[in-house]
Structure 1
Amino acid sequence: MTKGKLSSLTVLRISCFFINPTVLSIRSFKIPEKIQSFSPFYDNSFIGLIANRNGQETTRFVLFDQQGLETDSIPYDRQYENQSGIQSFFYMPEANFYYYNNSFHVKELYNDTLFSLNPQLQLSPRYVVNLGEYALVAEQRYQLTSPRENPMAGKKYVTTILENKQYLFLSSPTFDLNKFIVYNKNTKTLANLLLHYNEPEKSMFNKHTFTPRYISKDLTTLISFEEPADPEKEDNPMIVLLTLKP
């Protein structure tokens, strides 16, 4: 991988590992109806988002246990008129949840604010992701005139947020050239980072640039996975670890 540097962010090395599909640990639990995306929460509970697909949904976040029983919730603070009745469904999660610095955090697809969320289900704003004219507009989601109409056309949005002590990492397939955005929390500066795969990884993967999906528990390694370019030669995905300089 090409070495990338942004301020004090330096990529030390890239490591690749094939996933062994026989080594899996599966945990079983139930999910309440309508939950579109969810995550483990505090005290062995779970938190889930009910996507406001028709504009009239009243429940926003639901707290539930492993049996799928709802124990608490947060309401939507606004409903929208939807004259056509057309509902929009998206392939990606409509909420990005993550745990950092002993706190839980969430950003919704149709919300520009990154919140912290405490065990009492109190939301506190932390950052605003301002995409300007490219930002998703909630009202447009409920003004569709055809089921084939895409409310995201020409827009950009964040699908993954990761965080460590110094940086916020934001990525999305809508960012140009598979770039991901890096925000330095200390200097309050923002930049796009583009990391190209070199050979032999470049010829092995379907895409040629690194986009983070997860971060390690010690917050020093960004993690992604790539589909093989030739499934006949190798049909297992490959884990990609990008180690950052402390």
Structure 2
Amino acid sequence: MGIEIVSVETEIKSFLTPDALQRYSQWYCFDAIDSTNTFLYSKLDELKDRSVCVAHTQTAGRGRRGKPWISEPSKGLYLSVAFDKKQFSAPLEGFSCALGLSLIHALKPYSIPLTLKWPNDVWIDNAKCAGILVEIFSSFIIVGLGLNFLTPSKSYSNAIGLESYIENVVDQVPKITAQVLTELDKSVRLFAQEGFTPFVAEANHLNLLYNRPFTCLINNTEVEATSGVISADGTLIVYQINGEKRICYSGEVSLKL
């Protein structure tokens, strides 16, 4: 079982609004590539705002903190978009968290029980279905998105696809991809002007770490936590077992499943 997309660019574009089509004006589509983020980085001098790179598979897909992103052929969305930094008048704190919410918005029509695992992973129950990599350069911000349409065939822990929640998901790929791009565009435009403030309440409503035990690294020290709350600046307020509060600015968070 796999995803076959004939002329991926044309099919995705057929589900985009005229306004979105105008903003997403530069496309790079591949059957296979090392990494969609790496490709856009190699084209920094040629990119336009909202340049898109999409592939059926990645041979060296990357997640946060240098971890590999498993990109099995035609089983997921492997997509990167470059955003011109000049449009951002607000600070970038909380940006990746807002992007995670945009993925949840894109899948809202399917009534999937999605949650946000700080800072930007999207989970279904106790398994991860999507992740985001944000890389900031001098003139562009490159956002890479990985979304599992089908559960990976190999036994990767805590990975899940959408096939149990969306009927005939392989037939919905162009539409879902267009929905992701549409919501990504909306979130970036809002964030560029107002920052993370409009996203805080929803981020906490969907916060997977609230009242859930987890561990995280703060100043290279593993911290045991009983709950986490997403703050107005996008950092994670960590409530420790001993009752103390700490702030996690970035790093790896591991749920105790």
Q: TM-score range by the shorter chain?
A: under 0.3
- Structure with the higher strand share, 1 or 2: 1
- Structure with the higher helix share, 1 or 2: 2
The normalised TM-score by structure 1 is: 0.23
